[in-house]
Amino acid sequence: MSATSRAIREPGEEGPEERPLLRVWSYDVPAQARNAGFAQKMPAGARVLRVAKVQSLVKLWVLVNNEMPEEDRFFYVARTNSGLPSPDEHWKSIEYVGSWVEPTEVWHVFEARG
């Protein structure tokens, strides 16, 4: 059995089945990140599922394997019609993650990828 799996036996099954320990975690998008970037530590291989505003906080919901080591991930938040940073020596591309709507504007989250 790998370090990223647990034995799970369904009723009536003969032996254990290995399944990854997956969880959905939420992370706050810092308010000061608008038209700027921010770093977030999360387990390696984590996948962002959704971006949304809940009351006054913007959140990322992320599918994680909580047994994986943490890594820094880099995100950029931009308003519609504002510029995005250009790739540099630290990252090669920027990928869309999700958007949320405010009363007078729409914001978009991107992830910088190496």
Identify which has the larger pLDDT, 106 or 3. Answer: 106
The answer for residues whose C-beta is within 8 angstroms of residue 64's C-beta and 6 or more apart is 22, 23, 24, 25, 42, 43, 45, 46
- At 98, list the tokens: 């999700």
- In the 3-class helix/strand/coil scheme, how is 36-85 assigned residue by residue? EEEEEEEECCCEEEEEEEECCEEEEEEEEECCCCEEEEEEEEEECCCCCC
- CA–CA distance, 41 with 54 (Å, rounded to integer): 21
All structural domains of the chain with their residue ranges: 21-113
Main-chain phi, psi angles of 38, to 5 degrees = -155, 155
Residue 87 has pLDDT above 70, yes or no: no
The pLDDT confidence band at residue 90, using thresholds 50, 70 and 90, is: low
The pLDDT confidence band at residue 11, using thresholds 50, 70 and 90, is: low
The pLDDT confidence band at residue 85, using thresholds 50, 70 and 90, is: confident
pTM: 0.77
